[in-house]
Chains A and B, each alone.
Chain A
């Protein structure tokens, strides 16, 4: 960034912006617009009333402003009220699904990142027989598309009696993904050996070195990996759809798809649907906003996901 600012050519460019540069900024502006407009449209629709939406489909502002959509999505309205406003009778048990999503995503993220970091450390820094062969085996796992393991994993989860449970949703990705191990190993290998050896000379054991030296030094990649894992598991739909059948294990994505399928014959409850999507997406938007700066700059290293 600094390099761009300090070289001389930009000064010349700034004095007389070229046609190409203006065109490039126009394209960039269009991209930002296309990226962000759907977000605005979610909000605008969520704050509108259904009959007014049908009457003024092109109005850029919320029409007949109401919070009814959010009330329906959160299940705060009575059935009669909901139907009167163009919604379906059964709302979302939102808090339940939110809690399920938080539980599953947190369990997967914490365990997966921690166990993968342990394995990555063993692959990067410990000496043991067969290390490279085992690592090659893990890497080969990177080549198996997740779709392929889903059906047999479902059979396994069923045999374990964990169908329709949160643990059943979390279990397959709780211990590792080849990607997480591969990614963290790269980072551990780049930490200078001297740092580790200094700690060892001070009498620290390797377990201590792992917790007190390696983990803190890799905090940014671990954070990035963690947030990406959280987003991925939060947004996952196919696997939870297979495993969960009832409210007790239903996560937000699955609930949302059901809410969409419940729409009354007369037409979609767009206001309620958009309110629900907004609520489902909000935690990720907030999470991202908190860490955006660090994640955006280190996402390159994460590469290949």
Chain B
């Protein structure tokens, strides 16, 4: 409160009066801007800073620390050095989880990116209707939990409408979520259904930045839509596509909700993704140290992937203009 009431005075006329007469106005104004807002800024940044320090920076450091300890929440954490990491490297279930997660991410991101790109281009070149964009975004409004339960029903082996249609087409029913080979692709596609619209709208916004005359000029030169996509759309969308890709990959690695409500990691660990295994270690067996070590591993993997992606896609540079 006191800080707040002390700040209004430094407005232009007052400052001019108290500033040294020898200083030219330009430099005077600059000094005012450099130092004058300090206390006000402190007030404005304080809540966010508190949140940042307490719930982001501190937990990050603490997570790294906990990964070197044995900790079950009840007794104080006990330093065990690299034990958790040694155990992790020798844990076949951990490697299985990592592998299953990678398989999920590859299918999820692969299908989602291609589909989102197709939808975005269709939205741009075919119709700019806001209603259509709203429809495409609709699944994003559901939670992963809801989407998981809905597809559990639609893809039910006996009664699901998905399998009814497959049966009507003359094929055998597919145990989508009960078969170890089908389960991961199925979960990956369920999440594509939920997220593809949002991703498409991000790409659509990127497409809006491409000047329309480029398409007009190409059309005059006799280029078709297909050619324009490869020669204009894709190259100019690259920076946006790269950033969207980095963000969706990071999100995709953290898959948990859908697994938790559909397969619970089964059958036979086929869908025991990293986050699900980690949750079990922490809250099922109270091995917080080991769980922390696994999340450090995930952090390292994600950082590495992000850096590689950034380099490969030259995300920071644009070809436009």
Which residues of A does B touch, CB under 8 Å? 1, 3-4, 7, 9, 20-21, 24-25, 27-28, 31-32, 34-36, 38-39, 41-42, 45, 53-54, 57-58, 111, 115-116, 118-119, 121-123, 126-129, 131, 134, 137-138, 141, 143-149, 151-156, 158, 171-176, 178, 181, 200-201, 203, 205-208, 210, 231, 234-238, 241-242, 253, 256-257, 260, 268, 270, 273-274, 277, 280-281, 284-285, 288, 292-293, 296-297, 299-301, 303-305
Is B171 close to A, CB under 8 A? no
Bound-complex Cα distance A59 to B243 (A)? 44
**B41-49, B91-99, B103-111, B230-238 - interface stretch:** B41-49
Given contacts A131-B41, A281-B142, A281-B143, contact A296 B137 (CB under 8 A): yes
Option from A121, A155, A208 in Cβ contact (under 8 Å) with B44: A121
Is the pair A149, B8 in contact by a Cβ cutoff of 8 Å? no
Q: Nearest chain B CB to A276's CB is how many angstroms away?
A: 8
Contacts of A121 in B (CB 8 A): 44
A144 CA to B151 CA, complexed, in Å: 31
Task: Tell whether, in the assembled complex, residue A35 and residue B136 are in contact, meaning their CB atoms are under 8 Å apart.
Answer: yes
Q: With A57-B160, A145-B250 as given contacts, are A35 and B138 in contact (CB-CB < 8 Å)?
A: yes
Shortest C-beta distance, A280 to chain B (Å), equals 6
**A interface, over-half SS:** helix
Say yes or no: B59 contacts A149, CB within 8 Å. Answer: yes
Alpha-carbon gap, A118 to B62, bound state (A): 28
Query: CB within 8 Å of A: which of B272-312?
Result: 275, 278-279, 282-283, 288, 291-292, 295-296, 298-299, 302-303, 306
Closest to A296 in B: B133
In the complex, which residues of chain B have a beta carbon less than 8 angstroms from the beta carbon of A174?
Answer: 51
Interface segment among B20-28, B78-86, B174-182, B253-261: the answer is B253-261
Bound-state Cα–Cα, A7 to B217, Å:
13
| 15 pairs, CB–CB < 8 Å, chain A vs chain B | A129-B38, A143-B306, A144-B56, A152-B60, A171-B55, A175-B48, A206-B40, A235-B144, A237-B145, A238-B279, A242-B283, A284-B141, A292-B130, A300-B202, A300-B204
Contacts of B7 in A (CB 8 A): 205-207
Q: Is B114 an interface residue (CB 8 A)?
A: no
> What total of chain B residues lie within 8 Å of the partner, measured CB to CB?
110
B133 to chain A, nearest CB (A): 5
Residue contact A231 to B48, C-beta cutoff 8 Å? no
- List B residues 156-173 near A (Cβ within 8 Å): 156, 158-161, 164-165, 168
Top-10 shortest CB links A-B: A300-B205, A175-B51, A235-B143, A205-B8, A152-B59, A119-B48, A176-B48, A122-B44, A128-B41, A58-B164
A241 to B303, CA, bound (A): 26
Besides the contacts A35-B135, A145-B254, A293-B130, what 18 more A-B pairs have beta carbons closer than 8 Å?
A7-B216, A20-B224, A24-B125, A36-B138, A41-B153, A57-B164, A134-B45, A138-B52, A155-B62, A155-B73, A178-B56, A201-B12, A274-B153, A277-B149, A284-B141, A288-B138, A300-B205, A305-B247
CA separation between A138 and B52, bound complex, in Å?
7
**Contact (Cβ within 8 A) A299 B205:** yes
Q: Is the interface of B mostly helix, strand, loop or mixed?
A: helix
A57-B164, A151-B292, A176-B47 given; A28·B122 CB < 8 A = yes
Shortest CB–CB separation between residue B226 and chain A, in angstroms? 8
Among A41, A138, A235, residue most surrounded by chain B Cβ atoms (within 10 Å): A235
Interface 1/0s, chain B 107-146, versus A by CB < 8 A?
0000000000011001001111010111111111111111
CB contact under 8 A between A231 and B140, given known A149-B60, A152-B66, A274-B150: yes
Binding site for A on B (CB under 8 A): 4, 7-8, 11-12, 33-38, 40-42, 44-45, 47-52, 54-60, 62-63, 66, 73, 118-119, 122, 125-128, 130, 132-146, 149-154, 156, 158-161, 164-165, 168, 193, 197-198, 201-202, 204-206, 208, 212, 216, 219, 224-225, 240, 243-244, 247, 250, 253-254, 256-257, 260-261, 275, 278-279, 282-283, 288, 291-292, 295-296, 298-299, 302-303, 306
A280 touches B143 (CB 8 A): yes
